[in-house]
Structure 1
Amino acid sequence: MGDKDILSKSIFKALVRDFATYLFHLPVVEVKLLETAQQRVEERRADLVAKVALADGLPFILHIEIQNDNLAVMPVRMLRYLTDILLENPGLPVRQYLVYIGKKPLGMADGLNLPGLAYRYELIDMHRVDAESLLRQDAPDAWVLAILCDFRGRTPRELVHGILERLVREFWGQPGKLREYVRMLEILGSNRDFEVDIEEELEMLKIEYEKLPTYRMGLKKGEQLGEEKGVAKEKIESARAMLALGFDSTQIALVTKLPMVEIERLRTENSQ
């Protein structure tokens, strides 16, 4: 999953919720991330582990692994993750999901069949998930997850551009929110083997939007509002000066075009 140390907990919590909702169809209502680092001879760390609760309120541990290579030992590794999680969280059930996003066809098993041991976990092959099914959702989180799916004939650039276009429209004027979703797109995109500079695509898209007539009209409207505010301020300052010189309200109204109510309000302020 890339360099986890530089990623915020809020992003990981969002990823857990999004995977659970849109890929595993679990109506998660609460997410609490859990520390998963365990030391033996080597260090290993599960990708995403969280204590979650469904609408019925019953908590369980949700473990998500994202894999872009076919590893024959993956079932054994998943079992080892499971035992560590169970030891750290006694009494809580665990649901494990292995999400495969590699370019080659899926070639991993979904568990182990050994004498006295039958072990299974859910195996999600993103090659079989149509990106369009997520793009049809009315949810930015689903659009971002589409980068992991089957592009169905689209080029990576086309898909990334389409996702970014939706995000920009959805969060125009909310740069912090837009940046959060773009960061999630970068995290997920780092697990796909394509050369698309997401930041570059975003900047190009912003430039395109700035050329749109609606955007330019918005800027012009903002400039007009600014000018109108400036004129109103000048009128008020003129009225204050005339009040100080002893002009009556009718004379001030004729000169400044301010309503009588506003002039009387200014007169009251001046007398205080």
Structure 2
Amino acid sequence: MSQKYDITMKNIFSDMTDDIMSYFLGLQYTKIDELNIEFARIERRDSDMIFKCTTDKGNVAVHIEFQSENDGKMPYRMLRYSMEIMEKHNLLPYQIVLYIGKDNVKMANSLSYDFGEQNTLDYKYRIINVGNIKYTDVVGTDYYDLYSLLPLMDQNRREKEGEKYLERCVEAIKDIPLDINKKKDITFKAEILSGIVFKREVIEKVFSEVVRMFRIEESETYKMIIEKGIEKGIEKGIEKGIEKGEKEKSIKIAKKLLEEGMDIDKIAKITELAKEEIKKLIN
């Protein structure tokens, strides 16, 4: 039996945006407001992250898309999003695709054609491959929210060291000079994201001790995902990383949701436990 938590990229990355924009984008900016745009006319999906920011080039819309798989249609998507942003907010978009997939990037970052001076297109955006970021470039900095991404970084070292690399990431998170609650959130996100590149049994082996130590189920991110993110859609790739096969974990989560007053039918859907099993937990 498998258990799946339905969450969105926003649930995972919402606390990381300042560090992402400062570290990956290298922008000198002041964040003004978050722009929640639903591209209804395009693909009926929400953008991942769009912020109105003040930069040295004036007010812009910083648009970040998180991608866990290669998508040959990505340039077309990004161009459509660009036009939608400009139309709705009258802001020039600064667009980035943050690629967190296992494979090498195979997506184009541009669209162009030339039918003469009066009919041309030259459109480009940035693609940042997290796998190209070195472990040592982040560990030791104060971009602590980015430690959740460590399991996806340093692709060559990660593939060479395997499980030992993941252990190294967990140790780095344990050593962060932050309070325990913040460490819980960072650890939980790192465990989820690890599923994109590591096998489930390796993740559970490496994270088991720190999960018990930090009591991850008490983290605010864990609660948010369980309580609020259940009915959201999940990006492919991450879904594989948060499948939990052990029945005891399903029962544990069912108990927690019962305590919080959630309907039994919904709990059954989330945990894939039979309703009869859940009713027994009440007694």
TM surpasses 0.5 = yes
Deviations 1:39-86 (A, max 9, x none): 2374222222122334x6943211111223222211001001111111
Alignment of 1:140-159 (within 5 A): 140-154=144-158, 155-159=161-165
In 1, are the aligned partners of 2:132 and 2:155 still within 8 Å (CA)?
A: no
Written as runs of structure 1 = structure 2, the 5 A alignment for 1:1-272 is 3-4=7-8, 7=11, 12=14, 14-30=15-31, 32-40=33-41, 42-54=43-55, 58-90=58-90, 92-115=91-114, 116-154=120-158, 155-171=161-177, 174-186=179-191, 188-190=193-195, 192-196=196-200, 201-205=206-210
Two-structure CA RMSD over aligned residues (Å): 3.2
Letter in 2 for 1:48: M
Question: Displacement, 1:36?
Answer: 1.9
Deviation of residue 145 (structure 1)? 3.1
SS in 2 for 1:44: coil
Tell me the CA shift for residue 96 of structure 1. Answer: 0.3
What does the per-residue CA deviation read over 1:213-264, in whole Å, with 9 as the maximum and x for residues that have no partner?
A: xxxxxxxxxxxxxxxxxxxxxxxxxxxxxxxxxxxxxxxxxxxxxxxxxxxx
TM-score (norm 2): 0.59
Contact 2:50–2:61 (8 Å) recurs in 1: yes
1:165 counterpart letter in structure 2: E
Report if aligned partners of 2:157, 2:165 keep a CA contact under 8 Å in 1.
no
* 1:176–1:38 distance in 2 versus 1, CA, 3 Å: same
What is the letter of the counterpart of residue 167 of structure 2?
H
Gaps of 5+ in 2: 1-5, 115-119, 215-283
Higher Cα Rg: structure 1 or 2? 1
Q: Contact 2:37–2:47 (CA<8 Å) still a contact in 1?
A: yes
**TM-score using structure 1 length:** 0.61
How many pairs were matched up?
A: 201
Closer/same/farther in 2, CA of residues 88 and 147 from structure 1, 3 Å limit: farther
- Letter aligned with residue 72 of structure 1: G
Kept in 2: contact 1:130–1:152 (CA 8 A) = no
Look up the SS of the partner of 1:95 in the other structure: strand
- Using the TM superposition, give the Cα deviation of residue 186 of structure 1 relative to its aligned residue in structure 2, in angstroms: 4.2
After TM superposition, give the deviation of residue 110 of structure 1 in Å: 1.1
CA contact (8 A) 1:111 1:121 kept: yes
Residue 38 of structure 1, CA deviation: 2.3
Tell me if the contact between 2:19 and 2:145 (Cα under 8 Å) persists in the aligned partners: yes
8 Å contact kept, 2:10–2:48: no
In structure 1, stretches of 5+ residues that fail to align are: 210-272
Say which SS state the counterpart of residue 7 (structure 1) adopts. Answer: helix
